[in-house]
Amino acid sequence: MRAQRVVAVAIAAVLAASLSGCRSGAPADDGPLSSADHMHDPIPGGSICTPYGGPQTDGFVTFTNFGGTTVTLDRVVLLRPRNQRLLGSYAVPGVSAIGNPHGWPPKDRSYWPPGWKDRKPVRGFRVAPGRTFNMALGVAPITSARSTDQGMLVYYHDSSGDYVAKSYWAMIIGNLRGC
């Protein structure tokens, strides 16, 4: 009798959690933030290779909030980095990308898009519905060997739950032999 009561309480708890919208475990990858334009590629891919080592800015990817509520960025990580580490990151408002200038943060103002003056750290950056921002990453090799990543993962949340947006735009930092 006691075992049946424990099972009934457990079933009721699971049912209550599922009905209340409680999210479990890993973030979903079907949230409102996307690096796609929803008219062409679902998630853009490709790569850029800079032939000289040292810190670089990787700023070719923009993200848009295609949802109906504001999203808040939590963090960004490199996707499968090899001989490479993330130095820092900024969310830069607007549709213009900073590109791939040498150094982090980029010193050459000719690369700065109009929104660069309004850049913010990724953690806590809020993106209103319909708005776009450029993700600018500082990336550096950790050895003298060629370094690579396969893109980035952007963790964020809104009032519905936790999500991850993906970009498969890779950054390659060459060594003395180039790319």
Domain ranges of the chain: 27-173
As to burial, measured by CB atoms within 10 angstroms (0-12 exposed, 13-18 middle, 19+ buried), residue 104 is buried
User: How far does Cα 147 stand from its chain's mean position?
Assistant: 19
Give the whole-angstrom CA distance, residue 25 versus residue 73. Answer: 18
CB-hemisphere CA count at 13 Å for 38? Answer: 10
Please say whether the beta carbons of 49 and 40 come within 8 A: no
Please say whether the beta carbons of 50 and 107 come within 8 A: no
Mean pLDDT of 82-101: 94
DSSP annotation of 102: B
Strand partners, 19: none
Please write the tens of the pLDDT for every residue from 9-60: 333 333 333 333 344 456 677 899 998 754 445 555 788 888 777 899 999 8
φ, ψ for residue 32, nearest 5 deg? -75, -15
Mean pLDDT of 93-110: 91
Q: Supply the mean pLDDT for the chain.
A: 82
Mean pLDDT of 150-154: 95
CATH number of 27-173: 2.60.40.10
- Which of 64, 18, 59, 68 has its CA nearest to residue 37? 64
Give the whole-angstrom CA distance, residue 42 versus residue 35. Answer: 8
What is the reported pTM?
0.80
